[in-house]
């Protein structure tokens, strides 16, 4: 685009609405492109940026002065707390750094801005005492031979006399002057309070343009360019109502979504001439201040009079444009002066501007006669003239101690310092401004706070490391303990031995007697296959875990068993070999029974007595020893957990005590440092307040204190400061310590204790269900044998020479007693905590829709079976086959349900414990994150803030030592 500023102005006036995202996005992209292009080439945009940045800088300058006075007054009063001092110190240095860097940036971006130099010089010299600043000379004004076209290209560059102002186009403040520089205010002589409510109409002669706002709106609506005025002569009204000749350039621009007119004004006050503004009838509607004086009138105001009446002998109708005329003004009878004049006609929009120029200067007249070559041109005005007018600059030039880098380097340095403002490294001690003892106090305090940071971080890392070790140990042990594969395998082997023995015995009896065939050869073979698979699993498990206390039954031949030769003879074997022999004998029995052979009596003896005699008891005792082994492992885990807890807690306590010991040594050095700061400021309080008062009055037009307040400054009595800095730090760390203590207590005595408690209960519960299932099978076996009594098919009749299981009545009662007593453990809360709701319903509640004896749960069902077993065994007469068959059927139903219950309790308890472990992990991760976040987001920034505050004290000491010189 040839005119991107005009395009941006048009886009800015658009009111985007609706949900057409595509169009709105394209407009947004176009706007961004135009802004980028304008910022690269437009000097007028840079002027508005200058006004905004400089206004912000002056506001922060004012805040710095207010904070300095407030801090000084605070120290003088003696009524302050440590937090008040820290807050004021931080604010004072913050505004000091902000203002200094902002002045550098504004000066870098606008090196020829006179007002910036004036403020910056005063800030560096008067407040900071910094004499390293070296002013840069102004770019010279346009040369005498430049014409108006060449002049317009530099119309928005800073020059020594050039004025700038910004006129608002907002509806609420249309035509109001919202920004202006000091040159403009001095040019027209307006006071600061009047400038706050100054509009364009106050600067234009009302008889020349009755409605300037309407003219501005017409331009905005109809313009095809962004340039409103280009090198246009417009006499402006001063505060006294006189005309001031000026050359104006004006652009209509968009900046940050707002539309404004930016004006560049070159005052032509150096011209040795006076002007008057005429209407079309030759009536004077405005004139310059010395217009009447040059004509010799005593009156100061001749507005409303005709030119012909003022210039005797000159007819207004005869005046031609650009034609010099001469008339004589008599002073007395013998003296007169010659005055030359010329009439200029300038078109301003739809208005004709008639300006009458008069002069008595030969130098001015020569320029008129030379084709008006320099009529609207300003003379060359260099930094030399300005320097002569500025005593401050002469002072700086005489006191420069070192050369300053070029402006570009200064700009980069200022940007880098802004980036470093928030870091500790940006603060450097000025040892010359701090005595040795106070300097040592400062360094000691910084060292203590840095060590506190390190110790606190180490404490947190130690806590996390110890707890990770605890968690890893618990997780590994819980994973190992929750498997219980060895207990489950050995328990299943016990049950399958007992159950397969009974199945073979029942099939053998059912062949000879009229019993219902609840078990078939296929059932027997399936049981033997399961037994064989469990045997293989057991061997593999023990080969991986040879430290099991019951591993002897796998490796050593210590299990007794009997073979029926001529008489029963005892042998010893390990469990795998014994199970292999058992499987061979069982399959031999099944094979012979299928072939209706009766030559398996010796094999039946082996399979029967291995499952209910001392051989089985030996295997059963191994199951109990495995349970005890698991409980011992959990007890060891509990002991290690407590060990980790006490060691970790002890280390944390030691770190905390060490940290407190460091912090308790900080009171004395910090109090010395604050005392020295207060003494230093009180000793210069008069100069500080006087300097601040003068600056506020001269540069910010504000009164902050009165003379009486300044005079009282040296009458303040001093009292030593006694702050408890260690308590200020300690209570914050004590909160963290309490949090860590609560974490350790909850972690150890709530979460970990719950895990260990359930891990201890799990082997008991799993073993209990396995044992009840095994005992139910044995109860069925004993009941069946007792019911057979002394018949030819009973064991006592078949093998009268072997009596290891007799009397059967005692064996049965012992088994029933165990089943009844274990029922209480099944109903305990310890067991319920490891069961899911489904498993609780199976074991305790049952299914009311089920019409069998298990309708009220497996526990009550098994209790019913024990009662029925006792009735069958001890009612005094032999039951018919249907009764014992029904009992066996019910036991089979219970054992099938027991198999489901074992799988469920194993999985449910494992998942419940894993859930508790996950809760522990979540709690630990939450606490770790909370502690780390507290350190990163609060404690580390807090300690850094305190360390930076000490360096800020050094910065204030340097400032007070070098600055505030009037």
Q: Where are the domains of the chain?
A: 4-131, 164-178+198-370, 485-612
Instruction: Determine phi and psi for 497, rounding to 5 degrees.
Output: -60, -50
- Can you say whether residue 481 is alpha, beta or left, with left for phi > 0 and alpha for psi between -120 and 50 degrees? alpha
For residue 730, give the nearest of 656, 637, 648 by alpha carbon: 656
The answer, yes or no, to whether residue 741 has pLDDT greater than 50, is yes
> Which of the 8 DSSP states describes residue 201?
G
The highest-confidence range among 127-141, 639-653, 937-951, by mean pLDDT, is 937-951
The answer, yes or no, to whether residue 762 has pLDDT greater than 50, is yes
- How far is the C-alpha of 339 from the C-alpha of 434, rounded, in Å? 70
The answer, yes or no, to whether residue 411 has pLDDT greater than 50, is no
The answer, yes or no, to whether residue 717 has pLDDT greater than 60, is no
The answer, yes or no, to whether residue 603 has pLDDT greater than 80, is yes
SS3 396: helix
- Chain-centre distance for alpha carbon 836: 41
Give yes or no for a contact between 284 and 310, defined as CB atoms under 8 angstroms apart. yes
Least confident of 60-69, 87-96, 206-215: 206-215
* Residue 926: pLDDT band with limits 50, 70, 90: very high
User: What was the pLDDT predicted at 49?
Assistant: 82
Report pTM: 0.66
Average pLDDT over residues 733-746: 87
User: What was the pLDDT predicted at 550?
Assistant: 61
Measured torsion, CA atoms of residues 894, 895, 900, 906, in degrees rounded to the nearest 10: 120
User: What's the token pair of residue 891?
Assistant: 């036991």
Give yes or no for a contact between 462 and 653, defined as CB atoms under 8 angstroms apart. no
For residue 503, give the nearest of 465, 531, 483, 537 by alpha carbon: 531
User: What was the pLDDT predicted at 35?
Assistant: 65
Long-range contacts, stretch 234-237, CB < 8 angstroms, 24+ apart:
234/204, 234/348, 234/353, 235/205, 235/275, 235/277, 235/286, 235/288, 235/355, 236/188, 236/203, 236/204, 236/265, 237/188, 237/202, 237/203, 237/204, 237/205, 237/286
* Residue 373: pLDDT band with limits 50, 70, 90: low
* Residue 242: pLDDT band with limits 50, 70, 90: very high
H helix runs in 841-963, sequence order: 858-874, 881-934, 940-962
User: What's the token pair of residue 914?
Assistant: 């894993």
Average pLDDT over residues 147-173: 71
User: What was the pLDDT predicted at 386?
Assistant: 36
Q: Which residue has the higher pLDDT, 550 or 147?
A: 550
- Can you say whether residue 366 is alpha, beta or left, with left for phi > 0 and alpha for psi between -120 and 50 degrees? alpha
- How far is the C-alpha of 437 from the C-alpha of 435, rounded, in Å? 6
Residue in the block written with tokens 């630990």? 924
User: What was the pLDDT predicted at 482?
Assistant: 55
If 0-12 CB within 10 Å is exposed, 13-18 middle and 19+ buried, where does residue 402 land?
Answer: exposed
User: What was the pLDDT predicted at 380?
Assistant: 44
User: What was the pLDDT predicted at 584?
Assistant: 92
Mean pLDDT over the full length of the chain: 78
The answer, yes or no, to whether residue 732 has pLDDT greater than 80, is yes
Q: Which residue has the higher pLDDT, 549 or 813?
A: 813
Average pLDDT over residues 125-147: 53
User: What's the token pair of residue 924?
Assistant: 């630990």
User: What was the pLDDT predicted at 404?
Assistant: 35
- How far is the C-alpha of 357 from the C-alpha of 611, rounded, in Å? 137
Give yes or no for a contact between 273 and 286, defined as CB atoms under 8 angstroms apart. no
Average pLDDT over residues 375-384: 53
- Chain-centre distance for alpha carbon 804: 77
For residue 142, give the nearest of 153, 131, 134 by alpha carbon: 153
SS3 563: strand
For residue 773, give the nearest of 741, 737, 819 by alpha carbon: 819
Share of the chain above pLDDT 70, in %: 80
User: What was the pLDDT predicted at 152?
Assistant: 39
- How far is the C-alpha of 110 from the C-alpha of 139, rounded, in Å? 11
If 0-12 CB within 10 Å is exposed, 13-18 middle and 19+ buried, where does residue 381 land?
Answer: middle
Q: Which residue has the higher pLDDT, 226 or 710?
A: 226
Instruction: Determine phi and psi for 958, rounding to 5 degrees.
Output: -65, -40
Crossing angle, helix 725-746 and helix 881-934, to 10 degrees? 170
| CA 634-539-541 angle, 5° bins | 30
Q: Which residue has the higher pLDDT, 51 or 409?
A: 51
If 0-12 CB within 10 Å is exposed, 13-18 middle and 19+ buried, where does residue 45 land?
Answer: buried
User: What was the pLDDT predicted at 118?
Assistant: 86
Give yes or no for a contact between 109 and 117, defined as CB atoms under 8 angstroms apart. no
The answer, yes or no, to whether residue 875 has pLDDT greater than 80, is no
* Residue 651: pLDDT band with limits 50, 70, 90: confident
- How far is the C-alpha of 420 from the C-alpha of 415, rounded, in Å? 9
* Residue 397: pLDDT band with limits 50, 70, 90: very low
Q: What CA–CA distances, in Å, run from 183 to 62, 90, 264, 385, 544?
A: 21, 36, 11, 16, 95
Neighbours of 128 (CB within 10 A): 19
- Can you say whether residue 927 is alpha, beta or left, with left for phi > 0 and alpha for psi between -120 and 50 degrees? alpha
If 0-12 CB within 10 Å is exposed, 13-18 middle and 19+ buried, where does residue 739 land?
Answer: middle
Q: Which residue has the higher pLDDT, 804 or 675?
A: 675
Give yes or no for a contact between 58 and 47, defined as CB atoms under 8 angstroms apart. no
SS3 474: helix
Least confident of 45-49, 800-804, 814-818, 950-954: 800-804
Average pLDDT over residues 655-677: 82
User: What was the pLDDT predicted at 243?
Assistant: 92
Least confident of 164-168, 339-343, 459-463, 848-852: 848-852
- How far is the C-alpha of 483 from the C-alpha of 145, rounded, in Å? 101
């Amino acid at each position: 685009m040839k005119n991107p500023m005009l395009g941006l102005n048009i886009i800015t006036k658009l009111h985007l609405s609706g949900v057409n995202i595509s169009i709105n996005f394209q407009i947004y992209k176009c706007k961004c492109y135009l802004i980028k292009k304008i910022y690269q080439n437009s000097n007028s945009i840079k002027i508005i940026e200058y006004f905004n940045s400089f206004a912000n800088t002056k506001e922060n300058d004012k805040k710095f002065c207010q904070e300095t006075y407030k801090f000084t007054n605070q120290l003088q009063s003696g009524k302050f707390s440590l937090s008040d001092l820290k807050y004021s110190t931080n604010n004072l240095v913050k505004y000091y750094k902000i203002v200094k860097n902002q002045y550098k940036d504004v000066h870098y971006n606008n090196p020829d801005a006179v007002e910036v130099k004036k403020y910056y010089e005063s800030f560096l010299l008067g407040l900071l005492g910094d004499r390293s600043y070296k002013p840069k000379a102004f770019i010279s004004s346009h040369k005498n031979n430049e014409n108006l076209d060449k002049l317009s290209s530099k119309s928005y560059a800073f020059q020594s006399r050039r004025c700038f102002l910004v006129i608002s186009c907002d509806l609420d403040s249309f035509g109001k002057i919202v920004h202006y520089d000091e040159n403009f205010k001095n040019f027209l002589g307006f006071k600061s309070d009047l400038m706050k409510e100054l509009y364009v109409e106050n600067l234009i002669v009302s008889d020349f343009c009755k409605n300037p706002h309407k003219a501005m709106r017409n331009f905005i609506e109809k313009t095809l360019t962004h340039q409103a005025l280009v090198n246009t002569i417009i006499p402006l009204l001063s505060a006294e109502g006189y005309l001031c000749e000026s050359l104006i350039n004006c652009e209509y621009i968009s900046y940050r979504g707002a539309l404004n007119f930016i004006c560049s004004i070159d005052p032509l006050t150096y011209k040795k001439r006076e002007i008057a503004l005429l209407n079309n009838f030759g009536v004077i509607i405005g004139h310059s201040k010395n217009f009447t004086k040059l004509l010799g009138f005593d009156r100061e105001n001749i507005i409303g009079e005709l030119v012909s009446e003022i210039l005797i002998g000159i007819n207004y109708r005869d005046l031609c444009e650009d034609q010099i005329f001469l008339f004589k003004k008599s002073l007395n009878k013998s003296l007169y002066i010659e005055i030359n004049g010329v009439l200029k006609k300038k078109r301003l929009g739809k208005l004709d501007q008639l300006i009458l120029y008069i002069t008595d200067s030969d130098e001015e007249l020569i320029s008129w006669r030379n084709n008006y070559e320099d009529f609207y041109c300003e003379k060359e005005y260099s930094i030399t003239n300005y320097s002569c007018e500025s005593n401050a600059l002469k002072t700086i030039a005489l006191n420069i101690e070192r050369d300053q880098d070029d402006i570009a380097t200064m700009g980069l340095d200022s940007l880098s310092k802004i980036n470093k403002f928030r870091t500790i490294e940006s603060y450097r001690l000025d040892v010359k401004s701090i005595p040795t003892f106070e300097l040592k106090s400062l360094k000691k305090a910084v060292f203590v706070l840095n060590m506190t940071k390190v110790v606190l971080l180490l404490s947190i890392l130690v806590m996390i490391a110890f707890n990770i070790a605890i968690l890893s140990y618990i997780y590994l042990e819980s994973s190992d303990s929750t498997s219980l594969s060895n207990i489950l395998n050995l328990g299943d082997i016990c049950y399958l031995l007992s159950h397969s023995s009974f199945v073979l015995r029942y099939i053998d009896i059912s062949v000879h007697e009229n019993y219902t065939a609840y078990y078939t050869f296929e059932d027997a073979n399936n049981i033997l296959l399961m037994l064989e698979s469990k045997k293989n699993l057991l061997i593999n498990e023990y080969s991986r875990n040879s430290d099991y206390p019951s591993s002897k039954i796998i490796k050593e031949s210590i299990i007794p068993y009997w073979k029926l030769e001529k008489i029963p003879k005892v042998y010893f074997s390990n469990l795998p070999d014994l199970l292999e022999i058992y499987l061979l004998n069982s399959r031999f029995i099944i094979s012979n029974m299928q072939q209706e052979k009766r030559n398996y009596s010796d094999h039946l003896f082996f399979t029967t007595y291995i499952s209910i005699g001392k051989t089985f008891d030996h295997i059963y005792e191994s199951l109990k020893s495995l349970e005890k082994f698991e409980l011992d492992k959990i007890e060891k885990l509990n002991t290690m957990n407590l060990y980790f807890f006490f060691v970790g807690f002890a280390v944390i306590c030691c770190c905390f005590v060490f940290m407190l010991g460091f912090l308790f040594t900080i009171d004395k050095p910090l109090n010395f440092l604050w005392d020295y700061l207060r003494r230093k400021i009180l000793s210069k309080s008069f100069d500080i307040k006087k300097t601040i008062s003068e600056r506020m009055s001269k540069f910010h037009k504000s009164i902050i204190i009165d003379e009486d307040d300044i005079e009282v400054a040296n009458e303040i009595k001093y009292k030593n400061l006694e702050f408890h800095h260690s308590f200020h730090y300690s209570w914050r760390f004590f909160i963290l310590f309490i949090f860590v203590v609560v974490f350790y207590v909850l972690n150890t005595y709530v979460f970990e204790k719950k895990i260990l408690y359930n891990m201890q209960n799990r082997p008991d519960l799993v073993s209990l269900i396995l044992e009840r299932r095994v005992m139910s099978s044995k109860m069925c076996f004993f009941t069946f044998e007792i019911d057979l009594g002394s018949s030819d098919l009973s064991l006592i009749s078949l093998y009268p020479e072997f009596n290891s299981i007799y009397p059967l009545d005692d064996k049965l009662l012992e088994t029933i007693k165990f089943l009844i007593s274990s029922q209480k453990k099944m109903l305990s809360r310890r067991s319920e905590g490891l069961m899911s709701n489904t498993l609780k319903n199976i074991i305790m509640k049952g299914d009311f829709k089920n019409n069998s004896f298990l309708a009220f749960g497996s526990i009550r069902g098994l209790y019913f079976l024990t009662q029925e077993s006792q009735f069958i065994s001890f009612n005094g007469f032999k039951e018919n086959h249907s009764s014992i068959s029904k009992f066996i059927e019910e036991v089979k139903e219970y054992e099938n349900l027991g198999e489901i219950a074992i799988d469920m309790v194993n999985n449910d308890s494992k998942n419940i414990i894993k859930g508790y472990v996950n809760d522990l992990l979540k709690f630990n991760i939450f606490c770790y994150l909370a502690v780390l976040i507290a350190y990163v987001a609060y404690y580390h920034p807090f300690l850094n803030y305190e360390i930076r505050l000490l360096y800020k004290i050094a910065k204030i000491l340097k400032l007070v030592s070098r600055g505030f010189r009037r």
